[in-house]
């Protein structure tokens, strides 16, 4: 059953490999949470493995898995990026980038051989990864009179709220992160205190 409150990703970077008819496929899996971090990882691999023939990759972002991309980087259409993306999907993962670097061995593998090679290289990187479940969180801001601070701090503790930024004056303002599963209960309690709360964005951790 798919949960709207959490998503599966990997804990840290992992690596794998695959060999076929002299060609070497080096695979790298990275936990990511935005397209800028994806670009940084790709640029670093391109510099480190500058002599490789291809740097094929796929990524997926967000708990709803609506943001994704697959890139063949010069291989025949759908023979590299799609098999890599297929491994992300088949393992029900997101917030993940997988890159497969190919060193050509002199013998062409054909489209079927390439599909198998890129799929198995991606799968091997995931076999070496630690898969974890992450909470979906709400990013919000909360303003309240200073004399409400004890009640607000109690809510912070009760609903596993993480304070990101604090400004304590006559009217206090705090930026918070709260697990989506706790958000409805938190807002209900806030309304009982007659404290305004404004959601500024919703995104995964």
> Mind listing the domains of the chain with CATH numbers?
6-129 (3.30.230.30), 137-204 (3.30.70.260)
User: CA of 18: how far to CAs of 25, 44, 125, in Å?
Assistant: 5, 21, 10
**What residues have CB less than 8 Å from 128, skipping those under 6 apart?**
14, 15, 16
Q: How far apart are CA 84 and CA 110, in angstroms?
A: 17
Continuous H helices in the chain: 35-48, 81-90, 110-127, 149-158, 180-193
Report pLDDT for 112: 96
Q: How far apart are CA 37 and CA 116, in angstroms?
A: 28
> Of 61-70, 81-90, 169-178, which range is least confident?
169-178
Q: Sign (positive/negative) of CA torsion 193, 196, 202, 205?
A: negative
Identify which of 35, 33, 126, 116 has the alpha carbon closest to the alpha carbon of residue 82: 116
Q: What is the per-residue pLDDT across 119-145, written as a single tens digit (0 to 9) for each?
A: 999 999 999 999 999 988 888 888 888
Is pLDDT of 98 > 90?
Answer: yes
Report pLDDT for 173: 86
The tokens describing 79, both together, are 């023979």
> Which DSSP letter does residue 70 get?
E
pLDDT tier for residue 53 given thresholds of 50, 70 and 90: very high
Is pLDDT of 170 > 90?
Answer: no
**DSSP string across 117-142:** HHHHHHHHHHHTS-EEEEEEEEEEEE
Is pLDDT of 148 > 90?
Answer: no
Residues 73/80, Cβ–Cβ less than 8 Å? yes
Report pLDDT for 87: 98
Question: Averaged over 71-98, what is the pLDDT?
Answer: 97
Q: Work out the mean pLDDT of the chain and round it to a whole number.
A: 90
Report pLDDT for 28: 98
Report pLDDT for 145: 86
Is pLDDT of 118 > 50?
Answer: yes
């Amino acid at each position: 059953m798919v949960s709207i409150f959490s998503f599966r990703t990997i804990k840290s970077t992992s690596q794998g490999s695959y060999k076929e008819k002299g060609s070497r496929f080096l695979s790298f899996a990275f936990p990511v949470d935005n397209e800028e971090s994806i670009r940084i990882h790709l640029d670093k691999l391109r510099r480190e493995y500058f002599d490789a023939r291809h740097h094929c990759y796929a990524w997926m972002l967000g708990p709803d898995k609506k943001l994704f991309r697959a890139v063949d980087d010069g291989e025949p259409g759908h023979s590299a990026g799609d098999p890599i993306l297929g491994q992300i999907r088949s393992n029900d993962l997101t917030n993940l980038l997988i890159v497969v670097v190919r060193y050509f061995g002199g013998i062409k593998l054909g489209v079927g051989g390439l599909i198998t090679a890129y799929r198995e290289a991606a799968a091997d990187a995931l076999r070496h990864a630690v898969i974890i479940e992450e909470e979906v969180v709400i990013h919000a801001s909360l303003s309240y009179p200073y004399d409400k601070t004890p009640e607000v701090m109690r809510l912070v503790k009760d609903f596993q709220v993480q304070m990101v930024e604090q400004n304590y004056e006559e009217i206090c303002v705090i930026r918070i992160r709260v697990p989506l599963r706790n958000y409805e209960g938190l807002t209900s309690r806030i309304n009982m205190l007659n404290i305004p709360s404004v959601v500024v964005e919703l995104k995964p951790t």
